[in-house]
Structure formats: C-alpha cells, structure tokens
Structure 1
Amino acid sequence: MDLILHPTYFIDVVSLVHLYHSNHVTLEIHDNYVKQTYRNRCYIAAANGKLALNIPIVHQKTGGSVPYNSIEINRTDDWATQHLKSIKSAYNSSPFYEYYETDLHELYRDIPKLLIDWNIKTLHWALDLLNIKKAIQTTDQYLDNDKARDLVTAKQIPILNTDPYIQVFQEKHGFLNALSALDLIFNVGPSAGVYLKSQYYLIKNTK
C-alpha cells in the first residue's frame, strides 16, 4: 500500500497506523498551507481532556494561497517551552515519559525556521523512538490525494476509530482517539509496534 502524508506536528496515531502498514510513504511538500489542520497543531490527553498544542506561524501578507513549504514558525512566542510544560504535565505519570523525556528535550533544542522542516523532524524522531523503519520520500509536485487531505484535517471526525490502549486520565475522560504519537509513545512505549500491527484489520480494505 502506498501512502501520501502531509507533514504534521507530531504525526497522530490514526496516520501512524496507516504509515506502519504502508509499503511506500511520500510526504507532500508542494501543497498550500491550510488552517484547522494538524500542520501546526497536535492533540494530547491532559487532565481536563483533549488539549491542542498550537505552533504560532508568521502570517504572510497575501490574499491568495501560501505554499506550505514557505511557512515560518513565529519565534516571538516561547511556545516550545509552553508545549514541553504541557506535555510533562499531561504525561509525567505515564509509564514511559521519564524514559523518553531527555530525547524529547533534545528534539526541541534545535527547531528549524520552517514549519514543514520541523514537522518532518518530529516525524523522524517519533519513528526512530518507535523503531519503525520506513523509506520516506517527498513529492516532486503537488499530488491531490483525498486520504492525505482527510488525515491532515483536524476539525473533522477521524477516518478511523483505533482500538483503545491505556491512556493517562482514561478513567476520567474515556479513550481519546487520534491523539498525537506522543500519547502512544509515553503510554505504550516499546510495545507500540505490537499495537500498530494489531490495527491492520482497520485499514486492510481501505483505499
């Protein structure tokens, strides 16, 4: 199965399931920037429920479409420190947060200027920690792909309801679907590959 993905701020678990079961993965780098997507946000499970972590961007003065690969991260806000604090607050009691905390802080020490570069960096970081080996290429031109567009859209019902795994605050809020891969990493750790493999039945008949 071939998969096209728009680079996002820490790939979400639904997209990660698709990636895990794909033979070829291509990152779309020639699309336009679209609001209300995972391009500049991810979701984690916090004490009060689902929490969005948003990356501020530099807004370009244009009335038309803006290439995603030209979007810069706004560095006037100390958003990275706030995100790290929120992640720690959410997952400090999870089984594997302390195990991966140093790796997470190391990742945030060098944030690229462009949003797309940062998102690709977070993707490779997550895949490395989960020991997922995939050959990933990038597009030479824009590929209009319905599944890629559905996966990147944050403000709609996720295209899959993955099986529950143990989450922090689950007794309070129930299982939260389609959270950031951070949620899977900190709650499941090295067993994440087993979980992702078990989700094949959800996508085997999808195009």
Structure 2
Amino acid sequence: MDLILHPSYFIDVVSLVHLYHSNQIILEVNDNYVKQTYRNRCYIAAANGKLALNIPIIHQKSGGSVPYKSIEINRSEDWATQHLKSIKSAYNSSPFYEYYEADLQELFSDIPQFLMDWNLKTFHWILNLLKISKPIITSAEYLDDTKARQLVTAKQAPILLTRSYIQVFQEKHGFLNALSALDLIFNLGPSAGVFLKDQLDLLKE
C-alpha cells in the first residue's frame, strides 16, 4: 500500500502510524500552499496543554494559489530559538529528551530557505531516529489525494485515534492525540517503533 504525504513540520504521530504500515511513501511536492495545516506548524504537549509551534513564512503577493515549494521561511523572526526553548521546556523531564537534545540542536543549526526543504529535512531526521526505512519517492505531478489532505490538515479532528502512551503532563491534561512525532520519541525513545507497530489493527477498523 502506497501512502501519499504532504511534507509537514515534524510529522505528527497519526501520519507516522500510516507511514509505518505503508509499503512506499510518495511525497507530494507539486501542491499549493494551504493555511491551517501541518505544513508550517506542529503540536507538542506543554505544561499548559497542547502547544502549537508555528513557522513564520514570507507571504507572497498573489491573488491566486502559490506553489508550496516556493514558500520561503521568514528569517526576520527568531522562531527557531523559540521553538527549541519550547520543546526543551515541554520535554526536559521526559525519559528520553536528553538523549536526543544534541541531535535536535544540530538539526536546527542549518535551516534551509524554503519551508518544504526544511520539512523534508525534519521528516528524514525523524525516520532516521526511529530507524524506519521505506522506499520514498516524490510526485511527478499533483496527485490530489484525499487522505493526504486529511492528514496534513491541522484544524480538524484527526482521522485516527491512536492508543495512548505515557506523556509528560498526562495526569494534568489527559492523553493528547496527534501530536508531533517529537512527543512520541521523547517519551518512548527506542520503544516508539513497537508502539507504531501495535497500531496496525486500528487502520483496519
């Protein structure tokens, strides 16, 4: 089964479950930029609940659609430093944050000009940490896939409710579904792969 994905900022856990149980990944690189999606945001579990980390972009002066691949990150704002601070504040007490902190800082030390390139970089970084190896290709034209659009949309209920795992601040806020894969990695570490594997039956319901 192939899975089409729009490159997003630190892929969310629901998309990661679908990815883990797919045979091949097709990265959609010919779409238009759409607001209110995971293209320029991800969510983490912070002390006050679900927290959005947003990447500022340079808005192009165009009345029509703008290709996603042409969207540039707005470097006039020091968003990267703020994101790293927020991630550390949220996960410093998690079981595995300290093991990945240096790698995360190294990742942020070189941020590409274009949003899609940065998202692809975070995508491959996540897969490498989780030791997930899948055939990955890029789309030759826009594929207009319904599931891909659903997975990348941030302002709607996720298309899958995963089983819970222990999260930081869970006693305060309950389990938060569909967070960034960072949440899964910092809380479960090497066991994240086992968690992803155990979600297979949910995809068949």
- Which band: TM-score by shorter chain? over 0.9
1:1-207 counterparts in 2 under 5 A?
A: 1-204=1-204
Please report how far the alpha carbon of residue 203 of structure 1 lies from its aligned counterpart in structure 2 after TM superposition.
0.9
Please report how far the alpha carbon of residue 134 of structure 1 lies from its aligned counterpart in structure 2 after TM superposition.
1.1
Structure 2: how far apart are the matches of 1:200 and 1:117? 30
**1:54-91 per-position Cα deviation (integer Å, ceiling 9, x unaligned):** 00000000010000000000000000000000000000
Structure 2: how far apart are the matches of 1:111 and 1:159? 30
Structure 2: how far apart are the matches of 1:51 and 1:40? 14
Structure 2: how far apart are the matches of 1:12 and 1:136? 18
Q: Secondary structure in 1 aligned to 2:25?
A: strand
Please report how far the alpha carbon of residue 127 of structure 1 lies from its aligned counterpart in structure 2 after TM superposition.
0.5
Please report how far the alpha carbon of residue 135 of structure 1 lies from its aligned counterpart in structure 2 after TM superposition.
1.5
Structure 2: how far apart are the matches of 1:197 and 1:93? 26
Percent identity (aligned): 79
Structure 2: how far apart are the matches of 1:70 and 1:204? 37
Query: RMSD in angstroms over aligned alpha carbons?
Result: 0.5
Structure 2 counterpart of 1:182, which letter? L
Q: Secondary structure in 2 aligned to 1:150?
A: helix
Q: Secondary structure in 1 aligned to 2:125?
A: helix
Q: Secondary structure in 2 aligned to 1:143?
A: coil
Structure 2: how far apart are the matches of 1:178 and 1:125? 19
Structure 2: gaps spanning 5 or more residues = none
Structure 1 residue ranges, 4+ long, deviating more than 3 angstroms after superposition: none
Structure 1: gaps spanning 5 or more residues = none
Structure 1: how far apart are the matches of 2:89 and 2:145? 37
TM normalised by structure 1 equals 0.98
Please report how far the alpha carbon of residue 204 of structure 1 lies from its aligned counterpart in structure 2 after TM superposition.
2.9
Please report how far the alpha carbon of residue 24 of structure 1 lies from its aligned counterpart in structure 2 after TM superposition.
0.8
Structure 2: how far apart are the matches of 1:12 and 1:110? 22
TM normalised by structure 2 equals 0.99
Please report how far the alpha carbon of residue 172 of structure 1 lies from its aligned counterpart in structure 2 after TM superposition.
0.1
Q: Secondary structure in 1 aligned to 2:137?
A: strand
